Structure 1
């Protein structure tokens, strides 16, 4: 029974996007482990407070992530 823990910065993903994350990770895990384990595959999303996440020595906020999303669009 796997538990996949996903950590994201708070205020980045909507409730609908988090639902999609859970569904797609579950689908990926069951494609590897077998469909019989779908019902016991757990996905947990932890939201880290903005500013408590750092990349390259810099604190990252939701606004920073949204700017990166817009730049890649």
Structure 2
């Protein structure tokens, strides 16, 4: 059975999953991801969890490299 978002009932295309990975890697807020992908925040979180994509920001200083 294919993964489906909870709001639209549409399957996730491979390019959408790649874009989700890219956006998550760029530390994009879930709300922005939602607008870019046309999916609800709940659908984004659900798909990220099922694909083992972390939506948590990396543990980095907001001030950049202080060395």
Interval of TM-score (by shorter of Structure 1 and Structure 2): under 0.3
User: TM-score normalized by structure 1?
Assistant: 0.25
Relative contact order: is structure 1 or structure 2 higher (C-alpha 8 Å, sep ≥ 6)? 1
Larger Rg over CA atoms: 1
User: TM-score normalized by structure 2?
Assistant: 0.26
Q: Which has the higher strand share?
A: 1
Q: Which has the higher helix share?
A: 1
